[in-house]
Chain A
């Protein structure tokens, strides 16, 4: 065999059997690549591309939803702020109204008390006057009795005394009346 090979060492030989071996090997490899490897790889690449695209789409949708939610939240917040300020305004108004009412009531009450006090005083004064008149009458009667009883000799003098007494009384009464006014 070695002798044979050495005899014809043609570098550019093409041996049919080796060529066929090579073809068979290639066909086996090609079959595996064609039927198995490439379909699997392309399928997976496509699936991945799909899922990445799907993922981007989902992310966009989620973003839009979040934006919407944020908008709603903002609106609600604004509304709450508005309501709050409205309530505050109302409360202030109510407070002012209550204060005004209370003040008015207090004034009315005060006036009423004052009036009542005036009336009471007047009544007391009237009563005192009447009392006084009665007492003065009694006193005058007593005095008169005594004067009449003890000495009627000096009737002229007595008459003057009584007159003067009454006049004084009258005067005092007037002065008192003026003082009250």
Chain B
């Protein structure tokens, strides 16, 4: 939940049961547009530039967190692993046995660094949404997941071209379903092209963006609602009711925060899994 919303609710003063007080204003999409710290004319007025916003700062934090995790889990390597080394190894093996091997087999092991980077980076960006005071998941700005989806997109196309030995051969294998009768191809090929080369990267990026966006909005709504309903000065009866309402909202906020953590992990996992699936598919010679 962003400070703006808190301020908005706080400025309203009255809250629930205040006669003539402000109505409840649910958090708007405005919370996903933090103010930019700008110098000079940088970013001003352009629809393609965001400037240095809270997102950029949180991106830095997430990157630092990821690098710290990597350093911490691999700095000491011994045959009998310590705690941090074990965590690193468990994570490495988790990515390998849960994502890489089922999707790409043993020959996909060379893409492990990519998958590990993707998972860690996305998870770190996601959890920015539930770290107190930061509380804004970086992928709720579509620019960031699009960058990562683009990397995966380029990677799987390059891998496909290499694996099939030429652009033409790869495209043929990717858009012409094997075993389909010739007369259905005019219908199938456009569908395959759209599905494999347009919808696929778009959904890849939007999936994590949308869940982070919605999750954050949900948490912000619970927080703002709880704040709005907290009005103990409304009299003995209404005051008690308002506090109870507020408490319920707070409880929901906490529960949904825990739920969000699961979703954050899951979305990082799904993004990485799909990346492995796409690369594995491109790798496969039909």
The reply to whether the CB of A13 lies closer than 8 angstroms to some CB of chain B is: yes
Q: A16-B48, A37-B74, A45-B89 are in contact. List 13 more A-B contacts (CB 8 A).
A: A1-B35, A6-B33, A9-B32, A13-B50, A14-B143, A18-B59, A25-B59, A26-B121, A28-B67, A29-B67, A34-B117, A37-B116, A44-B79
The reply to whether the CB of B92 lies closer than 8 angstroms to some CB of chain A is: yes
**C-alpha spacing A167/B29, complex, angstroms:** 178
**Contact bitstring B106-127, A, C-beta under 8 A = 1, else 0:** 0000001110111011000000
Asked whether B147 lies within 8 Å of A38 as measured between CB atoms, the reply is no
Show the binding face of B for A, using Cβ within 8 Å. Answer: 29-30, 32-36, 38, 43-45, 47-51, 53, 55-56, 59-60, 62-63, 66-67, 70-71, 73-74, 77-79, 81, 85, 88-89, 92, 112-114, 116-118, 120-121, 141-144, 146-148, 150-151, 213
Asked whether B213 lies within 8 Å of A23 as measured between CB atoms, the reply is no
**Contact bitstring A11-40, B, C-beta under 8 A = 1, else 0:** 111111111111101101110111011101
Asked whether B88 lies within 8 Å of A18 as measured between CB atoms, the reply is no
Describe A's contact surface by its main secondary structure: helix
User: Which of A8, A29, A36 is most buried by chain B, counting CB atoms within 10 A of its CB?
Assistant: A29
Shortest beta-carbon distance from A35 to chain B in Å = 9
Asked whether A23 lies within 8 Å of B116 as measured between CB atoms, the reply is no
Question: Which residues of A are found within 8 Å of B67, using beta-carbon distances?
Answer: 28-29, 32
Asked whether B144 lies within 8 Å of A22 as measured between CB atoms, the reply is yes
Shortest beta-carbon distance from B73 to chain A in Å = 7
Asked whether A17 lies within 8 Å of B92 as measured between CB atoms, the reply is no
Asked whether B44 lies within 8 Å of A38 as measured between CB atoms, the reply is no
- A29-B120 CB under 8 A given contacts A1-B36, A9-B29: yes
Question: Which residues of B are found within 8 Å of A47, using beta-carbon distances?
Answer: 79
- A8-B142 CB under 8 A given contacts A26-B151, A29-B121: no
**C-alpha spacing A34/B67, complex, angstroms:** 12
Question: Which residues of B are found within 8 Å of A17, using beta-carbon distances?
Answer: 43, 48-51
The reply to whether the CB of A51 lies closer than 8 angstroms to some CB of chain B is: yes
Asked whether A13 lies within 8 Å of B143 as measured between CB atoms, the reply is yes
Shortest beta-carbon distance from A45 to chain B in Å = 7
Question: Which residues of B are found within 8 Å of A51, using beta-carbon distances?
Answer: 79
Which residue of the partner chain A has the closest CB to B28?
A9
Asked whether B213 lies within 8 Å of A18 as measured between CB atoms, the reply is no
The reply to whether the CB of A153 lies closer than 8 angstroms to some CB of chain B is: no
Q: How large is the interface on A (under 10, 10 to 19, 20 to 34, 35 or more residues)?
A: 35 or more
Asked whether A2 lies within 8 Å of B35 as measured between CB atoms, the reply is yes
Asked whether B141 lies within 8 Å of A37 as measured between CB atoms, the reply is no
Asked whether B44 lies within 8 Å of A15 as measured between CB atoms, the reply is no
**C-alpha spacing A16/B50, complex, angstroms:** 8
The reply to whether the CB of A178 lies closer than 8 angstroms to some CB of chain B is: no
Task: Rank and list the top 5 A-B pairs by shortest CB-CB distance, nearest first.
Answer: A15-B50, A18-B143, A22-B147, A34-B113, A25-B63
9 cross-chain CB contacts under 8 A: A1-B44, A9-B29, A14-B146, A17-B48, A18-B59, A22-B143, A22-B148, A29-B70, A32-B71
The reply to whether the CB of A70 lies closer than 8 angstroms to some CB of chain B is: no
Shortest beta-carbon distance from B271 to chain A in Å = 12
The reply to whether the CB of A41 lies closer than 8 angstroms to some CB of chain B is: yes
**C-alpha spacing A116/B88, complex, angstroms:** 111
Which residue of the partner chain A has the closest CB to B42?
A17
**C-alpha spacing A32/B63, complex, angstroms:** 11
Asked whether A38 lies within 8 Å of B142 as measured between CB atoms, the reply is no
Asked whether A23 lies within 8 Å of B151 as measured between CB atoms, the reply is yes
**C-alpha spacing A32/B33, complex, angstroms:** 31
Which residue of the partner chain A has the closest CB to B64?
A25
User: Which of B45, B74, B151 is most buried by chain A, counting CB atoms within 10 A of its CB?
Assistant: B74
Question: Which residues of B are found within 8 Å of A11, using beta-carbon distances?
Answer: 29, 32, 142, 213
